[in-house]
Amino acid sequence: MAALGLAVAVISLLLDCYKGCSTAVGPPLGTFIILILLRFACVYCLLMNLLNAHRAPPIPRRPWS
């Protein structure tokens, strides 16, 4: 699941970069740059989650545990 989340985040980052750069007329807006940097931070967090997923405790199998 962590790999799937990372893949979705990377694809959405690439699509946002393409959409933002292809529709920009002048220099990129500050909010656009901040949002892209925020996406990079999210992708980094998801990558770290994927790399450390093997150390997570097992998922409980009972609904109330």
Does residue 27 register a pLDDT over 70? yes
pLDDT for 37-58, tens place per residue?
A: 888 998 899 889 888 888 878 8
**Residue 10 pLDDT > 80:** yes
Residue with more model confidence, 20 or 6: 6
**Alpha carbon distances (Å) from 63 to 14, 26, 53, 59:** 38, 54, 22, 11
pLDDT-derived band at 65, boundaries 50, 70, 90: low
Closest alpha carbon to 51 in 13, 5, 11: 5
pTM for this one?
0.68
pLDDT band at 6 (very low <50, low <70, confident <90, very high): confident
35 alpha carbon, distance to own chain's centre: 12
